[in-house]
Amino acid sequence: MDNFTMSMPTEVLFGQEMTKNLSDMIKKYNGSRVLIVYGGGSVKKTGIYDMVTDHLKENGIFYKELAGVKPNPRISSVREGIKIIRENKLDFILAVGGGSVIDASKGMAAGSTYDGDPWDFYLRKAKLEKSPLPIGVILTLAATGSEMNGGSVVSNDETERKLPFRHPMLKPKFSILDPTFPFSLPKFHTAAGITDIMAHVFEQYFSPTDSAYLSNRLAEAIMKTCIHYAPKVMENPFDYEARANILWSGTLALNELLTYGKVTDWATHLIEHEISAIYDISHGAGLAILFPNWMKFVLDEDNVNKFIEFAKNVWDVNTKGKTELDIALESIERTREFFDFLEMPSSLTEVGIDDSRLEEMADKAIIFGDLGGFKKLGKEDVLEILKMSL
Amino acid sequence: MDNFTMSMPTEVLFGQEMTKNLSDMIKKYNGSRVLIVYGGGSVKKTGIYDMVTDHLKENGIFYKELAGVKPNPRISSVREGIKIIRENKLDFILAVGGGSVIDASKGMAAGSTYDGDPWDFYLRKAKLEKSPLPIGVILTLAATGSEMNGGSVVSNDETERKLPFRHPMLKPKFSILDPTFPFSLPKFHTAAGITDIMAHVFEQYFSPTDSAYLSNRLAEAIMKTCIHYAPKVMENPFDYEARANILWSGTLALNELLTYGKVTDWATHLIEHEISAIYDISHGAGLAILFPNWMKFVLDEDNVNKFIEFAKNVWDVNTKGKTELDIALESIERTREFFDFLEMPSSLTEVGIDDSRLEEMADKAIIFGDLGGFKKLGKEDVLEILKMSL
């Protein structure tokens, strides 16, 4: 078990009607002039936007807004937000939405106290030195875990790059998680969210650090919860218990808890970023296509035990009379079937991507070095996984 | 799943040699004049005391010390600590030890900014209103979880009371967890610590809130980790991986993570407090005696499913051809056997306690009302569990 430092400053308010505490929380973190950031307008349809703005008005909190943040959020939105923050001397960012909205908000938070272009942070040209603006979150979708971590992934249309940027100071001050907010999500978004959560757990579960036993068991707890509730929530989107457990799984899957004491992987996420940077597909869809292929590619004699653990503890695979390899392959098959059940795509072809730019994606994926902590992947490996995924 | 609020301000520095960050952490939380609190001197034997004080001297941090805090820490130690803090205008408390030392330190932290007697907090006569002194922890024993929560349990010899006091402001600012520090613990303390961890999980696992599925799976992850590593650490006290996983289990077992979204029990802990308030037995020993009897007493047709879950998911009980009741009883039997393996006592008689004061203990246990969230226990129920434990 490796050394680690735990710091979880984000306060979570979980449950129905927790939004009533919003203005108290903003004030607690010295906010008085707020930028509300949201996406394509679904928060208006669901009434969450009205609930939030009514609440702010009633409590005398000044706000401006930035609408239209897209999935795979663009650096152009980040720049626009920073402009509004500066023009109006805003001191707090309230992200109302899912991962894209939160990630864009983090870019704004960092960029608003920085003199240069916020894209510099993603290009690793600049380091976050000044305290960013504080962020609060009202989460509407279980998926990215961005509501409790310091990570942000943003795309640049001009350069077709999608890059991560991470800093402890970017962790939200608070996140409000109301399991009724995702009730009205389209089925596809619910399913892509569950896929994303599972993928986050995979990135941390598949690790060379066998000694982080407890972290591995915690990861299995989250995967089992997703597997248990996925059919329920696909059947009935208003199932509070299912929504609540999935929402909480999404947060715990990526708030660092599962990383403690171990090396993690993240190759698949970085490969996926190269796909969605060019083709703008849903992150969850890209992960569903790639992950089973990544598993097949990396599986070998040395790491087969990890897949057997995965098969037994997560998928309840009956191992009797089967070879180690068979058991491992069955765990991968079960993963594929789970994503199929969620009606996620299983090939790049299915989402309209051909082989014309695979080489370019593989090149870009390794721009900061080889990928992966479970198994190191160079350019040729990445290319092979992309080809397997066609 | 019930509503909840998550706030985990304590920073954890986990791993070998993490103590080198001590003075930076004290300064981060504005400490400059420190009270070091420790127990019976084992930290001197192990060299931890020298390591800490050398480090403070090298970094120019002024300190005074309070030694001799006992297991089942006394309010007299708390009062003594407050006196030293006031006389020397100290501004930070560094607890070096296990749960008793940390719990006593919390009493001092609260009492040093309060005009009355610190015992008032435990008697629920006073509320913590002023900010307590900040606390840092160097943990030497995996057990109570006090290193990351706001709870403190202190005993009063004069009145033979042992009472809990809890406040979010009492959460330590940081805790340093070095898995090598418990290497030299006597076998009994290691075993009592594991018992305490398991008992903390039981108090939260046995809950009427079935819908907190993820919290239940996380609880099982911690129990499985304790069960996996208990034989290893009893066999080899220098097993770093075992010590590390058990240490981390102890912290996660009682840092609120397992309580989220559910009603918890705590009857057994409160009954145990009445025993150790009078007889000064080890808390872990008391819990090992009581818990299997509490389980047998509360098991009924309505909650048998919880015990079946416990049997299957924690103890891997083979359920084929067995009645529900048999499976449930087998899970209790396995719990008893686990504590037996840890060489914990299984009856009050074994630790020299007879039936002469059972009635008095039952009376005191319910002084603030009936006990338990899983099953409500009145005085007669408590008395019955105590009799079963003779």
Structure tokens at A309: 């653990």
For tokens 């706000």, the residue is A63
Q: Is the pLDDT confidence value at B41 over 90?
A: no
Cα separations (Å) of A363 from A270, A294, A355, A381?
Answer: 12, 17, 14, 11
B139 pLDDT band (50/70/90 cuts)? very high
For tokens 């070096």, the residue is B96
- Rg (C-alpha) for chain B, rounded Å, is 20
Contact A203, A145 (CB under 8 A): no
A210-263 pLDDT per residue, tens: 999 999 999 999 999 999 999 999 999 999 999 999 999 999 999 999 999 999
Give chain B positions within 8 Å (CB) of A244.
1, 211, 261
Residues in Cβ contact with A179 at an 8 Å cutoff, skipping those fewer than 6 apart: A14, A15, A16, A240, A243, A244, A247, B1
Describe the crossing of helices A267-279 and A379-388 by its angle, rounded to 10 degrees.
70
A278-329 pLDDT per residue, tens: 998 999 999 999 999 999 999 999 999 999 999 999 999 999 999 999 999 9
Tell me if chain B has a CB within 8 Å of the CB of A98.
Answer: no
User: CA nearest A296: which of A345, A338, A334, A340?
Assistant: A334
Query: Nearest-5° angle of CA A101, CA A105, CA A111?
Result: 150
How far is residue A311's CA from residue A318's CA, in Å, rounded to a whole number?
8
Nearest CA in chain A to B148: A6
Mean pLDDT, rounded, for B32-41: 95
Cα separations (Å) of B178 from A247, A273, B17, B38, B129?
Answer: 33, 38, 7, 16, 33
Give chain A positions within 8 Å (CB) of B9.
9
Looking at every residue in chain A, the average pLDDT score rounds to 97
Q: Is B256 helix (H, G, I), strand (E, B) or coil?
A: coil
Please judge whether B15 and A6 are an interchain contact, meaning their C-beta atoms are less than 8 angstroms apart. no
B264-281 pLDDT per residue, tens: 999 999 999 999 999 989
A1, A13, A21, A309: best mutation site toward chain B, by most B Cβ within 10 Å? A1
A339-388 pLDDT per residue, tens: 999 999 999 999 999 999 999 999 999 999 999 999 999 999 999 999 99
Q: What are phi and psi of A36, to 5 degrees?
A: -90, 125
Buried b / exposed e across A204-236, counting CB within 10 Å, b at 16+? bbbbebebbbbbbbbbbbbbbbbbbbbeebbee
A321-333 pLDDT per residue, tens: 999 999 999 999 9
Tell me if chain A has a CB within 8 Å of the CB of B1.
Answer: yes
Q: Is B166 helix (H, G, I), strand (E, B) or coil?
A: strand
Tell me if chain A has a CB within 8 Å of the CB of B252.
Answer: yes
What is the end-to-end Cα distance of chain B in Å, rounded? 38
Q: Rounded to 5, what percent of chain B is helix, strand, coil? A: 55, 15, 35
How far is residue A14's CA from residue A176's CA, in Å, rounded to a whole number?
6
User: CA nearest B156: which of B66, B276, B41?
Assistant: B276
Mean pLDDT, rounded, for A179-202: 96
**Residue-range domain boundaries for chain B:** 11-182, 185-388
Could you give the ipTM of this predicted complex?
0.96
Cα separations (Å) of B43 from A157, B58, B69, B163?
Answer: 59, 19, 12, 26
Residues in Cβ contact with B119 at an 8 Å cutoff, skipping those fewer than 6 apart: B75, B78, B154, B156
How far is residue A30's CA from residue A174's CA, in Å, rounded to a whole number?
13
Query: Nearest-5° angle of CA A182, CA A187, CA A192?
Result: 85
Pairing label, strands A174-177, A4-14: parallel
CATH number attached to the domain at B11-182: 3.40.50.1970
**A9 membership: H or E segment, kind and range:** strand A4-14
Tell me which residues of chain A, numbers 197 to 216, contact chain B at a CB-CB cutoff of 8 Å.
211-214
Q: What are phi and psi of A59, to 5 degrees?
A: -100, 15
Q: Is the pLDDT confidence value at B210 over 90?
A: yes
Q: How many A/B residue pairs have CB atoms within 8 Å?
A: 110
B93-127 pLDDT per residue, tens: 999 999 999 999 999 999 999 999 999 999 999 99
A7, A20, A205, A213: best mutation site toward chain B, by most B Cβ within 10 Å? A213
B80-95 pLDDT per residue, tens: 999 999 999 999 999 9
Q: What is the pTM of this model?
A: 0.97
How far is residue A96's CA from residue A373's CA, in Å, rounded to a whole number?
33
Structure tokens at A117: 């272009």
Instruction: State residue B83's pLDDT score.
Output: 98
Q: What is the DSSP string of B6-51?
A: EEEEEEEEESTTGGGGHHHHHHHTT--EEEEE--SSHHHHTSHHHH
Please judge whether B5 and A16 are an interchain contact, meaning their C-beta atoms are less than 8 angstroms apart. no
User: Within a 10 A sphere around the Cβ of A306, how many other Cβ atoms?
Assistant: 20
Instruction: State residue A41's pLDDT score.
Output: 84
Instruction: State residue A254's pLDDT score.
Output: 97
Give chain B positions within 8 Å (CB) of A221.
214, 217-218, 220-221
Looking at every residue in chain B, the average pLDDT score rounds to 97
Give chain A positions within 8 Å (CB) of B225.
213-214, 217
Q: What is the DSSP string of A178-230?
A: -TTGGGG--HHHHHHHHHHHHHHHHHHHS-S-TT-HHHHHHHHHHHHHHHHHH
**How many angstroms away from the CA of B230 is the closest CA of chain A?**
13
Q: Kindly compute the dihedral angle of the four CA atoms of residues A327, A333, A339, A341, in this order, to the nearest 10 degrees.
A: -100
Give chain B positions within 8 Å (CB) of A211.
241, 244-245
Structure tokens at B116: 């009355």
Q: Is B247 helix (H, G, I), strand (E, B) or coil?
A: helix
Contact B101, B95 (CB under 8 A): yes
Tell me if chain A has a CB within 8 Å of the CB of B222.
Answer: yes
Tell me which residues of chain A, numbers 174 to 193, contact chain B at a CB-CB cutoff of 8 Å.
179
Nearest CA in chain B to A16: B3
CATH number attached to the domain at A185-388: 1.20.1090.10
Instruction: State residue B347's pLDDT score.
Output: 98
